[in-house]
Chain A
Amino acid sequence: MPYLGGEETVRELRRALSNPNVQSDPLRYRNTILKVIRTMSQGVDVSGLFSEMVKACATVDVVQKKLVYVFLCSYATLNPELSLLVINTLRKDCQDPNPMVRSLALRNMTNLRLPSLVEYVEQPLTAGLRDRAACVRRVAVLGWAKLHNLHPSSEIDAAVVNELYSLLRDPDPVVMVNCLRALEEILKEEGGIAINKPITHHLLNRLKECDIWGQSEVLRVLQRYRPQSEDELFDILSLLDSFLVSPHPPVMAATLSLFLSISSNLPVISLAALERVSGPLLAACGSGSREMRFAAVCHIQLLLRSVPGLLGPHYKRFFCGYAEPAYIKERKMQVLVELVNDENVAMILDELKGYCTDVNTDTAQAAISAIGRIGRSYSDRCLQILTGLLGLKQDHITSAVVQTMRDLVWVCPQCSDTVCLALDGCEETLQDIQGRQALLWLLGVYGERISTAPYTLEVLIDRVRSEASLGIKMELLTATMRLFLCRPAETQDMLGRLLHYCIEEETDMCVRDQALLYYRLLHCGIEKTREVLQGRRSDPSLGVLIGRPAKPVSQWARCFNTLEPLSQGAVEAESDSRGSPEHVTYNSKPNADLSDTLSCSHIEEVHSGSDSAMRCSDSSTNVLASSIAAPLSLSLSPAVSPEDFEHLWLQRQALHTERGAEKIEEVDCAWIEECVRCPAVLHCSPQSLQAAMQLVNIQTLAFTPQQMLPWRVYLYTHTQRSHSMDAPNTTLILGELLCTGEANQKSGVKKGTADSEAGAEGKEDQLVRKEMDATADRLRVSEDGQEEEEGIKVILNQQPKDDDALRQFLTILITVLNTLSSEKD
Chain B
Amino acid sequence: MSENVDSDLLYEDFQNEDQKEFNNESYGHVQEDDLYDDVLTSGSNNINSENNASSEHNAETETNGNYQGNMHNIAKRFQLYVGNLTWWTTDSDITDAVIATGVNDFQEVKFFENRANGQSKGFCVISLGSEASMRIVLENLPKKELNGQTPIVTLPTKQALNQFESQQKTRPTPPVPNPNQQKTSGIANSGPNNLMNPNMPLQMHPRMMNPPMRGNMQNPPMMNPNMQQRMPLSPQMNHAPQMNNMRFQNNWNNGPIRPPIHPNGMQNNNRPPPPMNMPPQGHPMPNNMMNRPMNMPPSGRPPFGPNPNRPMHPNFNQHNIMPPRGPPMPPMNNQGPPAPHVNPAFFNQGPVQNIVPPPGNHFNQAPRPMWGGNKMPNVFDQATGGPPTGVPNQQPISETEFEEIMSRNRTVSSSAIARAVSDAAAGEYSSAIETLATTISLIKQSKVANDERCKILINSLQDTLQGIEAKSFNRRDRSERSRSRERRRRRERSNSRSYRRSRSREHRDHRDRGRDDNSRSRPRKSAEPSGENSENFKRSYDDRNRDSDRYRDRETRNRH
Do A and B interact with each other, yes or no? no
